[in-house]
Structure 1
């Protein structure tokens, strides 16, 4: 009979040593692997947050009613590595220093109204913003006061601008409470560069509102932008 074996009831040898040690070996292996698994999970989370998807909360009312105060959105940070921002998309960007009331608040969220080369004007005879001669019907997203039912006008200020190449004209959906391209254009005395943001400043595209759950929705480009022709 080999060492470490004892006869069972039928007289056959059973390796008690290996049967007792095997569970301990598996248990020890799990605890050794756990730090590695945790490290990999943390690394993946960091990579995803840095380069792929990140959550953002909404700190102001500049995008109401589309985005309410303290809403949470998911932002795709990878998409603009393969394409440029499009009219109608909601984007997060690093704001120029002159746009910030608080130097620490450097990331803004707005809607892209016009891209490089576009001719954006306010307003036509019906009070609508036009892009390359096409009037925008903005009822789907412009702010509506929940108490009075009154909707924001597209702009209280007139402007007539050709957006420089590789720059964006962005506006909040709550026009009367948004520090955006229109507001900067007026403040900076008609300086188009100061009123627009670089496409390279865009961090990513907001694609879903996930919190609060009852307010959750996917973001799509409003249909009115489909009729905007390319810049001439």
Structure 2
């Protein structure tokens, strides 16, 4: 028969194991909370995910593509010609849409995913276009070859999607000087994009305030087969800044 010390030792082992399990669960909870807070801070200040709701940026971006946006642009890093940017509606660009009804559990999960930056329920309140004109730029279309020019420099735009047999990069001509603090933006799907050209009847005449820019899209993250970096084609806009009047 074991002595009293051995019996007490075996009995003492049980609460020790229980205490270890509680400590393990506590550590898991702390890790989870820290991960959520870090994700929230990253989403708030560094990067954020959006999905593409329309065909206006095809073939660069397809409907339902997920993009990652660098929110340090333009606050800490300047915008450049050719950047693909996400911006809030300047007013009158988007048709108001009713909020879809969701079951409470689905709504709660969507809220949490949006909180940590893995979902973007407000994507329909934002737009995605390519920056063509920066403040002070003179943007004109089209020349005899169907090209657009910025500050007198014709652009050869490989990212543009046009209807079969069409060479003009815009269905309609335009001649605009971009005001201070504003942008002239266009979709890559040039004949099917309601961009700066077709919002002249809005309060800001089709221009987008730089303050409305949420950030610069730099990668397509989903679906996997669409994964790619999003460049701003510096060779297309070479000489544009130097030619600015």
The normalised TM-score by structure 1 is 0.83
Q: Determine if contact 2:142/2:168 at 8 Å carries over to the other structure.
A: no
Equivalent of residue 175 in structure 1, options 187, 190, 203 = 190
TM-aligned CA deviation for residue 21 of structure 1? 4.8
Q: 1:77 to 1:143 in 2, by over 3 A?
A: same
Listed as ranges, the matches of 1:1-232 within 5 Å are 5-6=5-6, 21-102=15-96, 105-138=124-157, 140-145=158-163, 149-150=164-165, 153-185=168-200, 187=201, 193-222=204-233, 223-230=235-242, 231-232=244-245
Q: Which structure is higher in RCO with an 8 Å CA cutoff and minimum separation 6?
A: 2
Q: Determine if contact 1:64/1:174 at 8 Å carries over to the other structure.
A: yes
Secondary structure of the residue aligned to 1:83 is coil
Secondary structure of the residue aligned to 1:229 is coil
Q: 1:55 to 1:31 in 2, by over 3 A?
A: same
TM-aligned CA deviation for residue 116 of structure 1? 0.3
Q: 1:225 to 1:126 in 2, by over 3 A?
A: same
Alignment RMSD (CA, Å): 2.5
TM-aligned CA deviation for residue 82 of structure 1? 1.0
Per the alignment, residue 111 of structure 2 pairs with none
List gaps (5 residues or longer) in structure 1: 7-14
TM-aligned CA deviation for residue 151 of structure 1? 5.1
Q: Determine if contact 2:69/2:216 at 8 Å carries over to the other structure.
A: yes
Secondary structure of the residue aligned to 2:82 is coil
Q: Determine if contact 1:84/1:199 at 8 Å carries over to the other structure.
A: no
Q: 1:178 to 1:35 in 2, by over 3 A?
A: same
The normalised TM-score by structure 2 is 0.79
Task: Show CA shifts across 1:93-151 (max 9, x none).
Answer: 0012211123674200000001001111112222211101101101x111145xxx445
Equivalents in 1 of 2:57, 2:222: separation in Å?
Answer: 15
- Number of aligned residue pairs: 216
Q: Determine if contact 1:142/1:151 at 8 Å carries over to the other structure.
A: no
List gaps (5 residues or longer) in structure 2: 99-123
